[in-house]
Amino acid sequence: MAIDVKKNLRENKGLWIFVGVGIVVAVLLGVFVAPWASSSPDGLEKVAEDKGFIKKAEEEKPTWTHSPMKDYAFPGVKSEKASTGISGLVGVLITLAAATVIGLLALGLNRLHKKRMSAEGSPDAP
């Protein structure tokens, strides 16, 4: 069962425009808005400070010390804002790649299920 890509693009043109605009917006936010995000503690960190258990967390070696981009800093880039922007772009690309892989796996599993159902002679459920 081959996929007609051109037919798929024509039939789902609105969906592909929506997806494309979403990707562009995510990249723009990650690259151009993230560098100016607040440096104030986020909600979880603020509660930890208010309740007094942040000291315990600071005493232990955090898991993210081995992260390639800890604190949104891209290695080798001196400018903090540029480093954060590059980290935002890399984060968007990694998320997009993961979503694509998951989507393709789901599509493949769906096709496999349909193929098995047709081989057994059972009608496809709507």
- Token digits of residue 115: 């193929």
List Cα–Cα distances, 64 to 45, 67, 69, 85, in angstroms.
15, 5, 9, 19
Q: What is the pLDDT of residue 99?
A: 94
- CA 12-17-18 angle, to 5 degrees, is 100
Domain-embedded: residue 94: yes
Domain-embedded: residue 100: yes
Domain-embedded: residue 44: no
Domain-embedded: residue 67: no
Residue range(s) defining the domain that contains residue 89: 5-36+76-120
- Per the structure, how many domains does the chain have? 1
Q: What is the pLDDT of residue 6?
A: 80
The answer on pLDDT for 22 being more than 90 is yes
Domain-embedded: residue 43: no
Domain-embedded: residue 14: yes
C-alpha 95/C-alpha 85 separation (Å) is 15
Q: Of all residues in the chain, what percent carry a pLDDT higher than 70?
A: 90
The answer on pLDDT for 21 being more than 80 is yes
pLDDT band at residue 36 using 50, 70 and 90 as cut-offs? confident
Domain-embedded: residue 54: no
Domain-embedded: residue 15: yes
